[in-house]
Structure 1
Amino acid sequence: MSNESGSSVTQVKSLDITANPAPLGLLGFGMTTVLLNLHNAGFFALGSMILAMGIFYGGLAQVIAGIEEWKKNNTFGATAFTSYGLFWLTLVALLVLPKMGLADATSKGAMAAYLFMWGLFTAVMFIGTLRANRALQFIFATLAILFFLLALGDATGNATITIVAGYEGIICGFAAIYAGLAQVLNEMYKKTVAPLG
């Protein structure tokens, strides 16, 4: 290849030898989702354990995974992990800022709108997973359902819907944990130990 002055220009392609960031993102999402939805299902109160997971593993770890996916030129992974990492950080802020006297508490209607928008985002992202494996399709489908159930629970004030959402969210979270660990094990053993479909 020559440039305008006629001298030759060499193109260099770099070899990507970086690790797969998806397991970190999936595990950060999955473990935090299971723990929050154990609360939604009524097993324990919302406390510092869930908030800490929301900030650090669900939040920061997923943002880091999203940035790493961006470096790998994976628009879907970058958008998903960064967005859901920031979801966890905003969720914690919605819960903590009023307790710190920095903002008014979010009304049930506003919380329903917040959760509905995340459900809408997830439903569109689910369409993207139709070009991916079955495990990812299942995670995004159940996550969209989870957001819509939680939004409906807040909109109606029906605690039963929130409890049902909690159990559904536990399933979604464990699916993400499976997908993350499957990728780690499959890479370590250089064969399919845990199928992703």
Structure 2
Amino acid sequence: MSQDIKDVMNIRDIKIKDLSANPAPLGLMGFGMTTVLLNIHNAGFYPMNAMILSMGIFYGGLAQVIAGIMEWKKGNTFGATAFTSYGFFWLTLVGIVLLPQNEIYAGFVTESLPFAAYLFMWGLFTFVMFIGTLKGSKALSVVFLALAILFFLLAAGNYPGNPAILKVAGYEGIFTGLAAIYTALGQVLNEAYGKKIVPL
């Protein structure tokens, strides 16, 4: 047996360098931009429209699911869980809005109490995920804490149908989305320049 073959047989650990791109900025941008645009609506500046629903399907929804799958491939359980979950959140939200528009599903309109329960559960999930960010960057912690507050405000505003709470939620949601955009672009710029130029 040659020495080369013996050397190969003695190898116990193989390290593979991950050269794939960081999917977090894509997921954060999909989440952030869609959140800002929806919450400008919640703040009362324009009605629900096809732009919001399209962002919910394609950028907030599909782009985040893709980012989550990429995070799974990189072995990041937190990122995979967060991005995949929030991607499907946007898709379910669009479904809640659009399905009752079809005659077949017209009787399935989501009333205020179940919709508040839906938002509350997302708030609970987000708060637990926020705890998971405390070992990471402060910017990401701000995003998740602000998002948890947003879900709880939306739940509180939707159950009694309180427009004042919903308006506050709209402005808080704009902040949440902008925080996610800041975090995403900060990661992109820091990586592009190879040094910390945006504090996270």
TM-score higher than 0.5: yes
CA distance in 2 between counterparts of 1:123 and 1:95 reads 25
Name the SS of the counterpart of 1:31 in structure 2: helix
Provide, for residues 160-183 of structure 1, a one-character-per-residue CA deviation record: whole Å limited to 9, x for no partner. 000000000000000000000000
Percent identity of equivalent pairs? 65
The question of 1:116 aligning with 2:127 is answered no
Bigger Rg over Cα: 2
Q: Equivalent residue for 1:155?
A: 159
Structure 2 letter corresponding to 1:185: L
Q: Equivalent residue for 1:8?
A: 9
Distance 1:102 1:68, change over 3 A: farther
Structure 2 letter corresponding to 1:177: I
Provide, for residues 139-168 of structure 1, a one-character-per-residue CA deviation record: whole Å limited to 9, x for no partner. 000000000000001112111000000000
1:92 maps to which of 91, 94, 102: 94
Provide, for residues 53-81 of structure 1, a one-character-per-residue CA deviation record: whole Å limited to 9, x for no partner. 00000000000000000011000000000
The question of 1:185 aligning with 2:189 is answered yes
- Aligned positions of 1:48-127 closer than 5 A: 48-103=50-105, 104-127=108-131
TM-score (structure 1 length as normaliser): 0.94
Unmatched segments (≥5 aa) in structure 1: 1-6
CA distance in 2 between counterparts of 1:71 and 1:122 reads 22
The structural deviation recorded for 1:9 is 5.8
- Give RMSD over aligned pairs: 1.1
Q: Which moved more, 1:61-70 or 1:12-21?
A: 12-21
CA distance in 2 between counterparts of 1:191 and 1:9 reads 39
Unmatched segments (≥5 aa) in structure 2: 1-7
TM-score (structure 2 length as normaliser): 0.93
Q: Equivalent residue for 2:27?
A: 25
The structural deviation recorded for 1:101 is 2.7
2:140 maps to which of 118, 130, 136: 136
CA distance in 1 between counterparts of 2:148 and 2:21 reads 28
The structural deviation recorded for 1:93 is 0.4
